[in-house]
Amino acid sequence: MKFGVLQFPGSCDEVDALEAVRMVGDAELIWHRDRDLQGADAIVVPGGFSYGDYLRAGAIARFSPAMESVIEFAREGGLVLGICNGFQVLCEARLLPGALLPNVNLRFTSRQVDVEVLNSGGSFTRACALGETLSIPAKHSWGRWYADERTLAEMDEQGQFVLRYGPGQNFNGSLHDIAGVCNAEGNVMGLMPHPEHAVDELIGGSADGLKLFESMRMTVEALVA
Amino acid sequence: MPDSATLPTLEDAISLGLTEGEYELICEKQGGPPNQVELAMYSLLWSEHCAYKHSKKLLRTLPTEGPHVVMGPGENAGAVDVGNGLVCAFKVESHNHPSAVEPFQGAATGVGGILRDIFAIGARPIAVLDSLRFGEPGESARSRYLLDGAVSGIGHYGNSIGVPTVGGEVYFEGPYEQNCLVNAMALGLAPREQLVRSAAAGPGNVVILFGASTGRDGIGGASVLASAELGEDDDKRPTVQVGDPFEESKLLECSLELLELGLLVALQDLGAAGLTSSASEMASKGEVGIDIDIAAVPLREADMEPFEVMVSESQERMLCVVEPRNVAAVLEVCEKWEVEGAAIGAVTDTGRMRVLRDGEPLGDMPVRALVDDCPLYDLAPAKPAAPLYAPPAQVLDPAASPGESLLALLASPNIASRRPLFEQYDSIVGSRTVRRPEQADAAVLALPDGGALAVSIDCNGRRVAADPRNGTIAAVLECAANLACVGAEPLGTTNNLNFGNPEKPHIAWQLTEAVAGLGEACRALQAPIVGGNVSLYNEAPAPAGPIYPTPVIGMVGRLPDAHRGGRLGFLNEGDAVALVGPFAPAQPASELAKLRGQALPDGLPLVDLGAAVAALAAVRDAVRTGALSSAHDVAEGGVAVALAECAIAGRLGADVRLGDGFWEALGPAGEDDAPNWPEGSADASLFGEAPAGILVSGPEAGLRLLAERAHVRLIGRVDGDRLRVEVDGQPLLDAAVEDLAAAHAGGLKDYFA
């Protein structure tokens, strides 16, 4: 099982993500100019400020050569997880529905949040129980997830809401407290909180984030088997 | 020379901040009057900011050597050995004057500048801390604007570049109203053998400028902004630089990759005075000359004057020296990171700094004259005959009850929760942050060997104003106490001396006394100074006057086991609560005295440094063995506020007895000579301040062990959800922890609505 973690100029959390997924499998960084995904079984698009994010978060990264390959990989059913800026990139790439708007407080905000698992059977949450609460840090200024009514209804029907902020935890103002979503096929997921910063009690105060990476490993191994 | 027809005059030199004597000395060194390019370069390198001409003699008295020191003052940053082949580079630097003009960019580029200092010596930045001072936020819209702008700017730069902001401090006092302080500290880690110095070497080697292109921003910043008192701010706006964290993120990765590949002879960042100071200092350190061809410098604007190219303070630029055979490889790494690189000059054996344009000479100066020959001045210190600072406004009725006073203190700007600030910072990127803000007295950062670094930054300027020497000792002790509370031993110290105009005798006195105290405390703690910065002329015309003297102290330490890092919150009901150290609280210069509008005292009590250092060592060792549940130093607001902070952080109350005879001395060290409580003054017992007091909780057996090495006074028990305190047998405080937490949380929140 091998993870590929994308690296753009301006990525911040790519090494953290690399070390986190190495706790459950092999992993390598993939340079943004590289079209070769190096045989990765799953891709993580990490947090940060890709290309400075001076235009709109994720708007430029979506056109990078590595992302072109990731889009193809996702369309063929490959597992892709976008964290924070990675979520923004996946929305810009239209691999995930909705968009991320500036936080309601219009400030960068960093806070440990509780998120509730809404969909436990999926490719990214197999290792979680339905309704389980995960304690994971969130830190961003553009994290307010939004989608129109029709999209919301379709997503609800297809079970595309994966994580929801716990009561009082939704500081960014996301619609219906949505913290993480997946595509209709279930192989692409994005979330604003940072599971790679909750893989070690010593550092994160919680290792709950590891369950998402563990789930990805289980999903890939189930596919291979 | 092409412009010799219109050589600048003495008046031009004076308008650039030089004195008549300095101008004459420059003429002598040059063998005639300097031309425009030369005068611009001299005026910057001979400014206070670059030459430390009023502080260098004092700074030479500071201790700079110790067993852990790998790189001392004089390089871009200092460095200490942290074990297993790793060194920690760190430094604090000010960006006060730019932040007073434009707080967002001023603070942002302050962070950018200190980060470049760290990676310029080959270390990967792992943390930022900041130290901020503003006027009273409740009274001053300008202070709220500066606070909001500076915090946003720090967050913008640090968050975007992916270096966590793990700690800091902020104080609000009237004397900072006209001159805010924005000091930023950064830490980096490097394998010892990868450290690089900035000395240029090897005549014939190529000088490469890489990073952002050069524009007109920050022209003359070092002399205009940093070396004179601020007057009309708006005229100076174009001298403030604009930061681009994305450019710096690429520059950082590019620089570290160049060093990892062994492609560089020397590396230096471009900060104050731009190309002028970085090239001259590299040449000076290597005792060589450098030729710069300004036609090769990538420019943002085509029609820049030669002197503008040489003094521009455009951000996110680095200068390196490369052997000719490695030039292509260096430019290739630059290309990979989409960083512009250009060969702009060469190392020579002439000992001269030459500025050329396509071979045509524009300036030619002896490097030694530029960098080393600026005259150093003796200060003329004199203790002021009358108080320098007006008493603060009274905001708390002296007749208020202890309970009301405690709530007022917890909500006051200097004590209230810093959460509204630090929530705007990414404190966890990099996966090293073991203790986040408000979890412990110092930030704790995991090291790869299972140990951890601890870092703290502090300075209570009001206490330094009351007594520059003892106040500075107190600031150093507080940093050391913060480290002790997480179990760390100090390895080294950095400092930023923020003062008023040193040419005035009373400021010279503050500076001289403070540096003496700094040296004394660092010697006692064996925490030598490995680097720092000086920011003078922080004063405004009367009635505003000078800032409180603010020698900001940053201290880095190490603890052997990251899992044993101390916390500040109460942990277990039934734990004993004790006060450790030769702590003798007094009300003058305290936060309570400030809220009551009392004037500063003339002097503070002497501190028993030996006993203080011993107490800190004892607490540190107790934290390391896991004998304590919590440890927190007593600072602003005294014992009552420290108790409240432990209670709030742990969401547990306590039952406490203070006053003579109402506490139990534990062990031999405590029996005979423990300091007494201030007699007959409940206020001083509850809210009085002094250095060297640490509030700990834990099983009583552990506290008894601690008492073998330090004064330990058993004062109570962790209990329930209320904080109850008796003084001399009288119940004076009884408050729900929840109410204390609400007061504490609300103090600064509204300023960031």
pLDDT recorded at residue B228: 53
Query: ipTM of this model?
Result: 0.96
User: Mutating which of A15, A32, A108, A142 best tests the B interface, going by the most B Cβ atoms within 10 A?
Assistant: A108
Per the listing, tokens 């002097």 go with B603
Q: How confident is the model at residue B2 (pLDDT cuts 50, 70, 90)?
A: very low
Whether residue B660 is predicted with pLDDT greater than 80 in this model: the reply is no
Residue B667 has pLDDT above 70, yes or no: no
The answer on pLDDT for B393 being more than 80 is: yes
Could you report the per-residue pLDDT of B456-479, keeping only the tens digit for each? Answer: 999 999 999 999 999 999 999 999
Q: Which residue has the higher pLDDT, A18 or B240?
A: A18
Mean pLDDT value across residues B694-710: 93
Least confident of B239-248, B525-534, B552-561, B739-748: B239-248
- B1: pLDDT confidence band, cut at 50, 70 and 90? very low
Chain B residues touching residue A54 (CB < 8 angstroms): 246
For chain A, where are the alpha helices, taking DSSP H only? 14-21, 65-75, 85-92, 149-158, 201-204, 210-224
Does position B5 have pLDDT exceeding 70, yes or no? no
The residue ranges of DSSP E strands in B536-575, in sequence order, are 539-540, 545-546, 550-559
> Average pLDDT, stretch A169-193?
98
- Nearest residue, CB atoms, A49 vs list B155, B246, B430: B246
Residue-level pLDDT at A225 = 66
CA distance B43 to B300: 24
Q: Model confidence over B507-523: pLDDT tens digits?
A: 999 999 999 999 999 99
Residue B227 clears pLDDT 70, i.e. is over it: no
Model pLDDT, residue B673:
56
Cβ distance of B431 and A197 shorter than 8 Å: yes
Average pLDDT score over chain B: 93
CA distance A115 to A121: 16
- Structure confidence by residue, pLDDT tens digits, B278-327: 999 999 999 999 999 999 999 998 888 898 899 998 999 999 999 999 99
CA separation for the pair B431, A194 (Å, rounded): 11
Interface probe with B: pick from A16, A23, A112, A202, most Cβ of B within 10 Å: A202
In chain A, what residues touch B430 (CB-CB under 8 Å)? 15-16
In this complex, how many residue pairs, one in chain A and one in chain B, have their CB atoms less than 8 Å apart? 84
User: Nearest Cα to A144, choosing from A177, A118, A190?
Assistant: A177
Could A49 and B245 be called an inter-chain contact, meaning their C-beta atoms sit closer than 8 Å? yes
Give the model's pLDDT for residue B659: 83
Question: What Cα–Cα distance (Å) separates residue B413 from each residue in B147, B170, B465, B748?
Answer: 12, 9, 19, 6
| Residue A137: closest C-alpha in chain B | B428
Supply the pTM of this predicted model: 0.95
SS (HEC) of B278-324? HHHHHHHHHCCEEEEEHHHCCECCCCCCHHHHHHCCCCCEEEEEECH
| Region of residue B531 (left: phi > 0; alpha: psi -120 to 50; beta: else) | left
Q: What is the pLDDT of residues B587-631, one digit of tens each?
A: 999 999 999 999 999 999 999 999 999 999 999 999 999 999 999
Residue A199 contacts residue A136 (beta carbons within 8 Å)? no
Q: Which one from B49, B54, B156, B711 is the annotated catalytic residue? A: B49
**pLDDT given for residue B223 in this prediction:** 54
Tokens of residue B244, six digits:
């681009």
Print burial letters for B223-243: b (CB count within 10 Å at least 16), e (below 16). Answer: bbbbbbbbeeeeebeebbbbb
